[in-house]
Amino acid sequence: MTLVRYNPHTRLTALPNEIERFFRGYGLDSDDSDTVWNPIIDLSETETSYEIKAEMPGLNKKDIQISFKENVLSLTGEKKGETEEKEPNYHRLERSYGKFERSFRFPKDVKQDSIKASFKNGVLTVEIPKAEEEKPRAIAIS
């Protein structure tokens, strides 16, 4: 039987990780960034393209910016909170607001000029077509 000594400091070293995990569970970052809300993303791949679907309830397409640079697709924007004249008496407040940024790196086989995006019923769909694979060809020896 192996004897293990109790070290009271072991639990303290895990405390920062536990605090960060706690805040992540509530959609909050423990750092000082402005990002509080991030859209939920599905990223899929077929033989001919990649597809991103992002749930963005409460946003309009004018609230979202999409950019593609150096094989990185970035979705940025801001989900603005509702403002009311009178102060409400909240019993529960679960919705999050704020700026967001999600970035995805793609392989070099992407047709950058053919990327398409649509926004319907609070879901952003971005289709990123793959470039056609170069087919091997025979070279005649002269």
**Domain holding 76: CATH number?**
2.60.40.790
Query: What's the whole-model pTM score?
Result: 0.66
Range of the domain at 53: 33-81+96-132
Give a yes or no: residue 27 inside a domain: no
Q: How many domains does the chain have?
A: 1
Mean pLDDT of the chain: 81
Give a yes or no: residue 119 inside a domain: yes
Average pLDDT over residues 73-91: 80
Give a yes or no: residue 138 inside a domain: no
Query: Pseudo-torsion of CA 81, 85, 86, 88, nearest 10°?
Result: -10
Average pLDDT over residues 41-65: 94
Give a yes or no: residue 121 inside a domain: yes
Give a yes or no: residue 3 inside a domain: no
**CA–CA separation, 109 vs 95, rounded Å?**
38
Give a yes or no: residue 125 inside a domain: yes
Average pLDDT over residues 96-104: 89
